[in-house]
Amino acid sequence: MHLYPCGVRRYNVKARLVRNYDVFNYNHRGTTKQIWKMLFVDVEGECVQCTIFSPHVENFLGMFHEGFIYVLRGVQVVHADANNKIVPNWKQMTITSTTVVIREEHDDLAIPTFFYNLVAFNRFHVHANRTDMVFDATGLVLYVSPIESVGQNSVKRDLAIMDKTLTIIKFTIWNEFVHILDDGHLNTEADFCPILFACGLHVKSFRGRTYLTTGFYSRIYVNKVDDLTTSLSTWYESDKLAKKRVACFRSTPFSLQSSIDISNAHRVRLASFHAMRKVQYCRVIANTCHLEHVDNIIYEACHRCLKKVNSFHGVPTCESCNITDVVTIPRLLVRIEICDRSGTLKITMLHDLAQLILGCPATDIKLILQQPNGRKRVMEILVSKLGYKTFCWIIPPPIQDFNPEHSYTVSYVLQVDWAEECMWLTKFYEGKFHN
């Protein structure tokens, strides 16, 4: 920001007010104090936050209007607050009673009308749980959840938004923001996506998943008309992979978080699975290459805790619940090996997923196994559903050192969309895209 010195730590500034926040009241040692924050951009495009503290706040009420250019005479320039900086700038301006505020009557188009502190969605995790900064995001809205009450006085809504990195991120909007996207904005039948620009957001992390939320200094704009929005919509119109991602995301039967996890799963070949860390899921295209015998496909589980029940002297005992002669239910466990051209991996499909893949409840499999030739018939079912077929496997990365003898649990199995795979490979080899 161009600062013209006019005294000790005092400067004259000409800049446009791009954001004028509500006066924030807070309690300090029993008295109510006020803080008023604004954001100014100068002709060089630099953005500086400007603060007025009580008791000076009331001297300036009604004097500032967003979009106008102001000459501020005699502002103090100090180091920016450590908490909730609105822009990444070491300095901030402070207006006191001796500052003279003059609104320019003529607009100067050389001074930008907006400031963007954007972060690419695949980089947000770097800023998770920072308390010293807020960030801006722009993306396509893929999903809007119903409004949900939280506690006595709050309402929230979850959005799923995607940017040019094809990363989908959850964005929780609170209270006054929940109506910013109403039903008219989102027609999930079509591939239309509203474009959202949101600023002053907090980056949070929960169980390794990064998400965004609104806070006191947040603003949200839907389908704002500017270069940024135009560039995003032009990209979306022309990028087939982006359209594919959106269609896949909107058609998954899973929960919002699962759909986001699956969509963001890191694509790997089996040879590099062992080295994967710090991602939620790996996405592997591989075919089944070895089906184990079916002797252990069914195990008996405690009906209370669903843990495997062992038999002591013929009495089924749940060690977890500490109950003998416990009622058991049959559960499915399918262990197979998958391979791609780079390597192989032993995997396990737990009960729910196994039932889904085999299209058959565990109780039926148990019944078949009890019949003559039952093992052969169960193997036939396994071969018909899985045998030498290619799937898209969504697998959490190894937690500890990779062990080739360990069987890694699969979280989701999807049909391969070869068109999407080709589009992704093309982009990958063009170097345009890193996932």
Closest to Zn ion by CB, 118 vs 305, is 305
Smallest distance from the beta carbon of 305 to Zn ion, in angstroms?
A: 3
- Identify which range of 216-224, 231-239, 272-280, 317-325 contacts Zn ion by CB under 5 A: 317-325
Smallest distance from the beta carbon of 297 to Zn ion, in angstroms?
A: 21
Smallest distance from the beta carbon of 335 to Zn ion, in angstroms?
A: 23
Smallest distance from the beta carbon of 254 to Zn ion, in angstroms?
A: 28
Scanning residues 275 to 304, which ones bind Zn ion (CB under 5 A)? 302, 304
Question: Would you count residue 12 as binding Zn ion (CB under 5 A)?
Answer: no
- Identify which range of 212-220, 246-254, 260-268, 314-322 contacts Zn ion by CB under 5 A: 314-322
Show the tokens assigned to 414.
Answer: 């999807």
Smallest distance from the beta carbon of 239 to Zn ion, in angstroms?
A: 50
Scanning residues 22 to 81, which ones bind Zn ion (CB under 5 A)? none
Smallest distance from the beta carbon of 172 to Zn ion, in angstroms?
A: 36
- Identify which range of 51-59, 70-78, 193-201, 311-319 contacts Zn ion by CB under 5 A: 311-319
Closest to Zn ion by CB, 61 vs 327, is 327
Q: Which of 39, 318, 332, 345 binds Zn ion (CB under 5 A)?
A: 318
- Identify which range of 36-44, 315-323, 391-399, 423-431 contacts Zn ion by CB under 5 A: 315-323
Closest CA to 226 of 199, 201, 200, 195: 195
Closest to Zn ion by CB, 316 vs 374, is 316
Closest to Zn ion by CB, 327 vs 367, is 327
Show the tokens assigned to 241.
Answer: 């992979």
Secondary structure of the chain as H, E, C letters: CCCEECCCCEEEEEEEEEEECCCEEEEECCEEEEEEEEEEECCCCCEEEEEEECCCHHHHCCCCCCCCEEEEEEEEEEECCCCCECCCCCEEEECCCCCEEEECCCCCCCCCCCCCCECCHHHHHHHCCCCCECEEEEEEEEEECCCEEECCCEEEEEEEEECCCCCEEEEEEEHHHCCCCCHHHCCCCCCCCCEEEEEEEEEEEECCEEEEECCCCCEEEECCCCHHHHHHHHHHHHCHHHHHHHHHHHHCCCCHHHHHHHHHCEECCHHHHCCCCCCCCEEEEEEEEEECCCCCCEEEEECCCCCECEEECCEEEECCCCEECCCEEEEECEEEEEEECCEEEEEEECHHHHHHHHCCCHHHHHHHHHCCCHHHHHHHHHHHHHCCCEEEEEECCCCCCCCCCCCEECCEEECCCHHHHHHHHHHHHHCCCCC
Smallest distance from the beta carbon of 326 to Zn ion, in angstroms?
A: 6
Scanning residues 319 to 348, which ones bind Zn ion (CB under 5 A)? 320-321
Closest to Zn ion by CB, 233 vs 320, is 320
Smallest distance from the beta carbon of 351 to Zn ion, in angstroms?
A: 15
Closest to Zn ion by CB, 272 vs 317, is 317
Give the chain's largest Cα–Cα span.
98
Instruction: Report the alpha-carbon distance of residue 28 to residue 31 in Å, rounded.
Output: 5
Smallest distance from the beta carbon of 331 to Zn ion, in angstroms?
A: 12
- Identify which range of 15-23, 55-63, 312-320, 390-398 contacts Zn ion by CB under 5 A: 312-320
Q: Which of 241, 276, 279, 305 binds Zn ion (CB under 5 A)?
A: 305
Closest to Zn ion by CB, 257 vs 320, is 320
Give the total of residues touching Zn ion (CB under 5 A). 6
Closest to Zn ion by CB, 257 vs 328, is 328
Closest to Zn ion by CB, 170 vs 351, is 351
Smallest distance from the beta carbon of 312 to Zn ion, in angstroms?
A: 14
Scanning residues 149 to 168, which ones bind Zn ion (CB under 5 A)? none
What are the beta bridge partners of residue 392? Answer: 285, 414
Closest to Zn ion by CB, 19 vs 331, is 331
Nearest residue to Zn ion, scored by beta-carbon proximity: 302
Name every residue whose Cβ is closer than 8 Å to that of residue 404 and which is 6 or more positions away in sequence: 274, 346
CB 209 within 8 A of CB 169: no
Half-sphere exposure (Cβ direction) of 301: Cα atoms closer than 13 Å: 18
Closest to Zn ion by CB, 187 vs 310, is 310
State the residues that interact with Zn ion by CB under 5 A: 302, 304-305, 318, 320-321
